[in-house]
A and B are shown apart, each in its own frame.
Chain A
């Protein structure tokens, strides 16, 4: 089973993420825990409900978190996909899921997820990270502990520094 970082530790994880193309070609697998793109999530509700394994959704840049607002209560996890680490839209999506929709489940960064972005990612609401496969996950873990000082509030503590003093 592949490993991910979750809540500051490395754990084994069984969720499988498929692309829309893969699903179009091979159909939805009947069992296993599955992460599907928003387009599939919206268009194949019945097929998803019929699966024996769990299913959840992945937001890609350009997707609106609002589209899954009504589903959030039943989701153990939402994935946010970074096609390139320099595309920062996912940061606002995670923030929105936490502060607008008060989502308390797992938010997992997937795709081009690297050590040097993790500190910011956890502050906006990500608590799980699937590190890019060619990188050492143990090395990446260090990215969570870069700064002990922050000026702004964040998902863990919404108070900016001037309300913490």
Chain B
């Protein structure tokens, strides 16, 4: 993990002091609501339906056990005993009091955490693959680049008042998109050319009202120029992005309006001026950053499939099932990455209690070099677990309710906070997730269905990433009543792809029966080894349409 230097700590201290003073001036009436709004948003603070919500930044999803315990402490002392993992790998608290936020930020700063730029019209937390440094297919570790981008983006003076929020993601796995860079404002794909690291840079992807896949703007940007190129894109966006209509203000609309050619021309012109200038990255800096993400001290004598593991797999069916869904191969022999699903039925997807934060911290210390990760599917990961310890870890997780063997299955639902918390929502999303989990409660059946991404958003802002679910559910409002629109065929697995609308939206009570009918059709039509998405791509949307609306005719 990146280790804070004195100046990083100094910066956080100054930030806390700044926000403490801003909060004081707001409460004293010296700052209006409107003036305070972007200041608090750039510190992750929303005023929600019932209370403020504080979004804490988890840079590219990495947490150490000390930080986890601090999150638990915050949940316990300043919230109602729980936090929430968001689809951008951050941690949100739904019930802090406004007056307490400066103290919470001070507490976070003690463990090198903050809420900087987790909201507002600025460059947000940089994200990447939750299996960075683990996946053998990755061409290099993306996290040093994420940290380089994070520092450039942090309090960048020119880009604090952009037309709209701005999200950057980095991917290092070829021909796959685990970091969803295709649907980010800027996607950075690490590529190697003649042994040199460089980047293919996409711009203009995004979800929301008009989902779009990003276009390649820079085909190969050599590594020293990464920041200059990003700055060029941001400058073009800051100057020309739409500021009159918030639904047209994301960079995707600008790229579309100008056309890729023109956008690239403007970017290249800005870039030409900065190229080889002071922003150019140095080899020392990149090496220094890489040093922070070096391998943990693995046991080099550990081997794959040790007898402790194979024996347990043979003798314990529940462990065996969990192993096949929630455990993932590791590039280090003898190790594995374990997903803790925060998706037990009855729990809002991504929610985690104060005691559970502490428990995950203990497990991270015991089994995974003191580190854990948050994922964009609202789960957590222990990234470096020795295979001969998987069984005892599983027992511990099972006791905590984190061993639901549904990772990537239908009930591993991604859902935004929706109408229960979010003031922008058209409809609730958590109760829909729960109704689906309750209906599909037969583990054997779920395993038979195989991998299936189901995503729910409470409104067009698409925080639940419904466009990229194999099945997407979107809450809509029709004359004050909650309805749900279903999309099929979205992908955020190997590739990123926007789903297609099934047809007219459904009443709340119809959602579960319709999902069940779609699943039935898949089961009838599938060929051996076909996942839901494969069958869908083979037979198309029509049969699903017919089946979904069958009983309504």
A97 CB-CB contact with B under 8 Å? no
| Partner-contacting stretch, out of A1-9, A70-78, A157-165 | A157-165
Residues of B within 8 A of A87 (CB): 161, 243
A111 at the interface (CB under 8 A from B): no
Per the 8 Å Cβ criterion, residues 144-179 of B in contact with A are 151-152, 154-163
Task: Report the separation of the CA atoms of residues A152 and B277 in the bound assembly, to the nearest whole angstrom.
Answer: 13
With A88-B159, A91-B161, A152-B156: A162-B278 Cβ-Cβ less than 8 Å: no
B282 in contact with A86 (CB, 8 Å):
no
Residue of A nearest to B14 (CB): A147
Option from B10, B18, B161, B238 in Cβ contact (under 8 Å) with A86: B161
A148 and B161 within 8 A (CB)? no
Distance in angstroms between the alpha carbons of A153 and B462 in the assembled complex: 35
Instruction: Return the contact of A146 from the options B7, B18, B160, B288 (Cβ within 8 A).
Output: B18
Question: Is B22 at the interface (CB under 8 A from chain A)?
Answer: yes
Q: Given A88-B238, A151-B152, A163-B278, do A124 and B243 touch, yes or no (CB 8 Å)?
A: no
Q: Is the CB of A92 within 8 A of B158?
A: yes
User: Is A89 part of the binding interface, using a Cβ–Cβ cutoff of 8 Å?
Assistant: yes
How far is A7 from B489 in the complex, measured between Cα atoms in Å?
58
Report A-chain residues with C-beta under 8 Å of the C-beta of B227: 160
Q: Which residues of B contact A88 (CB under 8 A)?
A: 121, 158-163, 238
Shortest CB distance B270–A (Å): 9
The answer to whether B278 touches A86 (Cβ under 8 A) is no
Interface centre among A88, A100, A148, A163, by most chain B C-beta atoms within 10 angstroms, is A88
A154 within 8 A of B: yes
Q: How far is the CA of A116 from the CA of B278 in the complex (A)?
A: 28
Does B277 contact A89, Cβ atoms closer than 8 Å? Answer: no
Interface residues of A in 104-163 (CB under 8 A from B): 114, 116-117, 119-121, 123-124, 146-154, 158-163
**CB–CB A152/B157 < 8 A:** yes
B7 partner residues in chain A, CB cutoff 8 A:
149, 161
Q: Is B275 an interface residue (CB 8 A)?
A: no
**Given A86-B121, A92-B235, A162-B281 in contact, is the A149-B10 Cβ separation under 8 Å?**
yes
Expressed in whole angstroms, the minimum distance between the Cβ of B493 and any Cβ of chain A is 35
Closest-by-CB residue of A relative to B288 is A162
Contacts of A148 in B (CB 8 A): 10, 14
Residue in contact with B155 in the complex, picked from A61, A86, A121, A151, CB distance below 8 Å = A151
Bound form: Cα–Cα A88–B162 in Å: 6
Contacts of B18 in A (CB 8 A): 146-147
Residues of B within 8 A of A159 (CB): 278
Q: Is the CB of A152 within 8 A of B10?
A: no
**What residues of A have a CB within 8 angstroms of the CB of B38 in the complex?**
86
Report B-chain residues with C-beta under 8 Å of the C-beta of A153: 278-279
Q: Does B448 contact A (CB under 8 A)?
A: no
How close is B167's CB to chain A, nearest CB, in angstroms? 17
Within 8 A of A (CB), among B20-54: 22, 31, 35, 38-39
- A85 interfacial by beta-carbon distance below 8 Å: yes
Which residues of B have CB within 8 Å of A86?
38, 121, 161
- Residues of A with C-beta under 8 A to B520: none
Contact (Cβ within 8 A) B279 A160:
yes
**Contact with B282, one of A120, A152, A154, A163 (Cβ below 8 angstroms):** A163
Query: Pick the contact of B35 from A61, A100, A114, A149 — CB < 8 Å?
Result: A114
For residue A161, which residues in chain B have a CB less than 8 angstroms away from its CB? 7, 151
Least CB distance, B164 to chain A, in whole angstroms:
11
- CB interface residues, B 229-284, toward A, < 8 Å: 235, 238-239, 243, 273, 277-279, 281-282, 284
By beta carbon, the residue of chain A nearest B231 is: A152
A148 to B239 alpha-carbon distance, docked (Å): 28
A147 contacts across to B, CB distance below 8 A: 11, 14-15, 18, 155
Known: A91-B238, A161-B151. A116 touches B161 (CB 8 A): no
Given contacts A85-B35, A116-B35, contact A146 B157 (CB under 8 A): no
**Is the pair B154, A151 in contact by a Cβ cutoff of 8 Å?**
yes
What are the residues of chain A within 8 A of B99 when measuring CB–CB? none
Inter-chain CA distance A14–B156, complex, in Å, is: 33
From B157, B163, B281, give the contact of A91 (CB < 8 A): B157
In contact, A149 and B158 (Cβ under 8 angstroms): no
Of the candidates A116, A124, A162, which one forms a contact with B157 in the assembled complex, judged by CB atoms under 8 Å apart? A124
Q: Report the minimum CB–CB distance from A85 to chain B (whole Å).
A: 7
Give the docked Cα–Cα distance between A95 and B279 (Å): 15
CB pairs A–B below 8 angstroms (18 shown): A91-B157, A91-B160, A92-B235, A116-B22, A120-B155, A120-B157, A120-B158, A120-B160, A121-B157, A123-B157, A124-B158, A146-B18, A147-B155, A148-B10, A149-B7, A149-B14, A160-B279, A163-B278
Besides A88-B158, A148-B14, 15 other A-B contacts (C-beta < 8 A) = A86-B121, A89-B238, A89-B239, A92-B239, A93-B239, A99-B273, A116-B31, A116-B39, A148-B10, A151-B152, A160-B279, A161-B7, A161-B151, A162-B285, A163-B278
